[in-house]
Chain A
Amino acid sequence: MATVLGLVLLFSFKTPDAPPDSGLPLAVANGTPTPGATSPFGPRASSRPGATGRASSPPAPGTQPPSGGDQQVDGNVVSTQFGDIQVRLVESAGKIVDIQALQLPNDRRRSREISLFSEPILHDEALQAQSAQIDTVSGATYTSRAYRASLQSALDRVQG
């Protein structure tokens, strides 16, 4: 599997809050084959359970959890106007392998018209995205690589 990542910066379109730039390409990087590249996130730093939640079996500081041993980290119960939300993170060998909803608002009914659906955005969905591998991001005005780096840094801080 060969991967070519190219990046070019152009389209000096409407930018009210910043001076326009030349619109010339600032960077072009083509043709860098990365055989076997599959994970958009790269190697993940190990998390620190307990930083924001309760770890049921926290590892000794500075050590990897034992291979194959699952750890569960329960987030705090978060009250929203739609009801309470609580999420459990399951880690195995430093990787997030599952995110379980312990509590969810009972609010997945149809709304407004028969063709429309509605539900609240849950607190921890970025973690779900991480565990399932995102290739790119819509709505982000920076590169998906920058997005991955940002998400990675957030993950490194561990969110409960």
Chain B
Amino acid sequence: MGTAISLDLRDRAVSPAAVAAMFDHLRNVDARFSTYREDSEISRLGRGEMSLHSCSPDVREVLERCEALRELSRGYFDIRAHRSDGGLDPSGFVKGWAVEAAAGILDTGGARNYCLNAGGDVITRGEPEPGRPWRVGIRHPELPDKLATVLETRDLAVATSGAYERGAHIIDPHTGREPDGLLSFTVVGPKLSVADAYATAAYAMGRDGINWIAGLAGYAGCMITTERRRVWTEEFARYAATS
């Protein structure tokens, strides 16, 4: 199954062409980065059929940023860790990065108030109605029809990693096993590419991930533990809905 991407656009004046261009961009990224397409650049690069300098600038940018994230996360975000065949899997970064760029296309097209949700990774802009923030539910990790918490956001990115996530099965690259003690990890901040990668890395760290996020400027986090507790950083409380 693919990832569902939904756009809730509240501006009347945005042209349909801008919306079409946004979805075209996402399809284009999919064609180049999908690890399930044998002919994608990322698959050919992983098999050694392409060199890095013959890849498109986008692929090079993604790999450079993934490497920077690997260093920042002390190896917990590692695009080489998840495939037994040694191939590259940058999907923990690419989805957020692509959706972030898609939001930029909407912004250029004049969109000011929208919510873009790509498989549970969310970008909100502006307000759904004047004076009201977007209300973003965080899925309960065990009960698909329930929420673990609710956020109120305007211009924000929200990414959640969890064991239930389709295809995720995030492992700790240092042990090769799934981390113990937590069910999901949500990261919020200005950029979805970063929030997505941080959520992946923090989840792989297990319960220590919340301390790692607490030390990163501009981003906040909340984990759900196996005891069904929320544990969050001080900054995260700014976004928690009070009603």
Contact = CB atoms under 8 A, between A and B. Distances in A.
B202 interface: no
B6 interface: yes
Interface string A1-31: 1111111111111111110110111101011
Interface stretch (B49-57, B68-76, B233-241): B233-241
A77 to B, nearest CB: 17
Contact of B147 (A8, A118, A126): A126
Q: How large is the interface on B (under 10, 10 to 19, 20 to 34, 35 or more residues)?
A: 35 or more
Contacts of A116: 210-211, 214, 231-234
Interface stretch (A44-52, A53-61, A86-94, A142-150): A142-150
B139 A138 contact: yes
Contacts of B9: 3-6
Residue in A2, A116, A126, A147 whose Cβ sees the most chain B Cβ within 10 Å: A116
Nearest to B3: A11
A120 interface: yes
Interface in A123-137: 125-126, 128-129, 132-137
Interface of B: 1-12, 14, 16, 19-20, 23, 26-27, 30-31, 34-37, 82, 89, 91, 94-95, 98, 115, 117-122, 124, 128-129, 134-141, 143-151, 158-162, 164-169, 184, 186, 210-211, 214, 224, 227-234, 237, 241, 243
Given A14-B89, A141-B4, 17 more contacts: A1-B10, A1-B129, A2-B10, A2-B12, A4-B10, A7-B7, A11-B3, A12-B34, A16-B167, A118-B232, A128-B147, A135-B128, A136-B115, A136-B137, A137-B137, A138-B136, A147-B137
